[in-house]
Amino acid sequence: MNIPRPLRTTALPAVLTVSALVALTACGTSEADSAPGGSKATVTVRIPDPGNSGVLALGKKDGSLDKALSKAGAKVEWTGSAGPFAPAAQAMNADQLDIATGSITSGITSLAQRPGFKFFTAVDPDAAGEGILVRNGSGIGSVADLVGRKVAVNQGGTGEYLLLKALAKAGIPADEVTRVYLRPDQTAAVFNAGKVDAWAVWATYAVAEIGSGKAHFVADGAAIGSDNYSLNAVRTKFAEQHPKVVKALYQYLHEASAEEKQNPAAYLNVFTDVGPTAVTGKAKEVQTRFTAEGGTVEPIGPEDIARFEDVAAFYAEQKVTKDRVDIAAHLLDVGELT
């Protein structure tokens, strides 16, 4: 289970407010762009297609997301597909995307570049749904047993963080385990073929492996002590120009994620219950449990920022990033959006 966090506070001096953002640009506005004749044009929010499960998938299917955003003069344009945060960050930087979801770990490595986005929500680290995955019968019974072995990770993201964090907690030098850098969507075949001994991974990919009955976590997020938050990011200029839209999106995500936590099954297999995107059998049970034990979309509070900074410091110490990334400079306080 997730460890309860202290009560959140709303006054966040370390988080950039929209008023501060607007002061940086002469074109910022809190309303939709004006259309000919003085009417307000509908603002288009570009979001990666959510696939077959989750809050956004259900919001797409039943129209509830567009309904919520219409009150702020906006509508959704689904573009591309949800996936790793790094390419989504690049798309926001290139003005091809307005909203994206990612982990604080992948967020830090993206912020180390020249970011054109800011984070505006936080979901608690997934204590149950992420960790170090091993095949049943592998002989790996603890993190210490990874010494001299190969572990698949996504470079600079959740996987690399989980492995390095697990090794550090166990007092094992990072160079005693071989990191094999692979894209998450290419790793299952390598893992199941035995070409790597373990896979540092999160629920998106772990559910199918655990659900198959052939793999399990040798250490999950709770055992590792993970601070790997899930975050929503918004393109900086979009937030400057349309703060009401960002606030409306936050409110929708907050309320819907609370409903999803209470009734996870309703948010699975939204469009189809067959085929490669469907979650079925034991995997469905696993995903339902992970969601029920997970967090909800919340504003970013001071206690979150402290944990973000710990991750940034850890990444710098482990030389994943060249320097310690300044997280606070890239956060928004949704309570201040007007």
Q: What's residue 257's pLDDT?
A: 98
Contact 121, 250 (CB under 8 A): yes
Tokens 């309570």 identify what position? 335
Give the pLDDT of residue 6: 43
User: What is the reported pLDDT for 219?
Assistant: 98
**Mean per-residue pLDDT, 268-286:** 95
CB atoms near residue 31 (< 10 Å):
15
Evaluate if residue 13 carries a pLDDT over 50: no
d(CA 337, CA 99) in angstroms, rounded, equals 16
CA-closest candidate to residue 255, choices 104, 125, 121, 84: 121
What confidence score (pLDDT) does residue 80 get?
81
Question: Could you give the percent of the chain with pLDDT greater than 90?
Answer: 83
Q: What is the pTM of this model?
A: 0.85
- The per-residue pLDDT of the chain, averaged, comes to 89
Q: What confidence tier does 41 reach under pLDDT thresholds 50, 70, 90?
A: confident
167 φ, ψ (degrees, to nearest 5) = -65, -45
Q: Choose among 12, 18, 103, 4: nearest CA to 301.
A: 12
User: What pLDDT, on a 0 to 100 scale, did the predictor assign at position 338?
Assistant: 82
64-100 burial string, b = 16+ CB within 10 Å, else e? ebeebbeebbbebeeeeebbbbbebbbbbbeeebbbb
